[in-house]
Structure 1
């Protein structure tokens, strides 16, 4: 399985996925035979960046929200951003969207928030070898092409519905005409 679902999004099937991942959209960063790694895009936490990240220089606004990237390792902090000109931009996950992990990249983004879009994530979503494949067989996830708007939206609460609508067909119909489209 070359790159599997890397660079795709997984949209949870709400009739099957009822735990932490209910109604989530996950950007898959890496997926191969040894496992998978991704970030939940639509779980904004009720906590400011400065409450989670220590050492933000004085004079820099640390009030930006932080997102829960997943239930694995809350000490793992990462940034999705759209600025390839950072000194350490990280890896390009999808065209025009980069994953960075350095404190320096975060400070650089915070120094110029008007020049770039970015979100900071605490934790991540991870799967062991063949675990995600098993979930796919159980129809836990809908695979779709990513959209940078879902990553940088002002309203992450609608990301799940928007992702399903953009999938089109029955997904769009059920989102627009039922309370829980995955139950039909």
Structure 2
């Protein structure tokens, strides 16, 4: 799936920040999430890890699902900030002056290619490599968007992440019929305006679910 984000001759954000990235990082009632019996394609939605998640790399994860088709799926985890890595560190590693923009946290985007950068962003900016995920946000992976952000001509809303989550053909569909994931609409306000540590609870709350009362089973909002 990584090939889908590279374009002819465009630099991508695969370099590691030079000095920062190596630093380390009950209820009375329970809600039963019904199993999903029929898999479909859900690009532009959120995937939230359920208590039945067996892969501990995704425990309590919130993933913005960006690509999902017959060939597989690609998503960016948006629920955890990286320790000791911020936007200015990333810009500095590419010799980009970031002094004019806020020093925002960088998210831990997933276990695949953890040195590779991605930006989830509003659609008021678009480069040649942009993938429009839904009607309100897209995904870019080239240096063009970092330069645009640093020069204050980039998207009005954005999140920067290192790494991604990837699934082969049919793999995510299989997981979604088990007890691993809850599916929710990919609301842009929840994506961009809710702090990373609060996203999971906020997305569940928007679906009418108290995340503290979850038990196993997969499902959707």
Q: Distance in 2 between matches of 1:2 and 1:131?
A: 11
Aligned residues: 177
Greater relative contact order (Cα < 8 A, sep 6+): 2
> Where does the alignment leave 5 or more consecutive residues of structure 2 unmatched?
1-37
Match of 2:166 in 1: 126
Please give the residue correspondences for 1:78-157 in structure 2 after superposition, counting only pairs within 5 Å.
Answer: 78-86=118-126, 88=128, 90-112=130-152, 116-157=156-197
Match of 1:181 in 2: 214
Q: Distance in 2 between matches of 1:17 and 1:2?
A: 19
Q: What root-mean-square deviation, in Å, do the aligned CA atoms of Structure 1 and Structure 2 show?
A: 2.8
Deviation (angstroms), 1:2: 10
Q: Is the 8 A contact 1:56 1:62 kept in 2?
A: no
Are 1:41 and 2:78 matched, yes or no?
yes
Q: Which has the higher helix share?
A: 1
Deviation (angstroms), 1:157: 0.8
Q: Which has the higher strand share?
A: 1
> Where does the alignment leave 5 or more consecutive residues of structure 1 unmatched?
none
Are 1:67 and 2:107 matched, yes or no?
yes
Match of 1:166 in 2: 206
**Under a length normalisation based on structure 1, what TM-score does the superposition of the two structures give?**
0.82
Deviation (angstroms), 1:111: 2.2
Runs of 4+ in 1 over 4 A off after TM superposition: 86-89
Please give the residue correspondences for 1:6-21 in structure 2 after superposition, counting only pairs within 5 Å.
Answer: 6-17=43-54, 19-21=56-58
Q: Distance in 2 between matches of 1:108 and 1:16?
A: 38
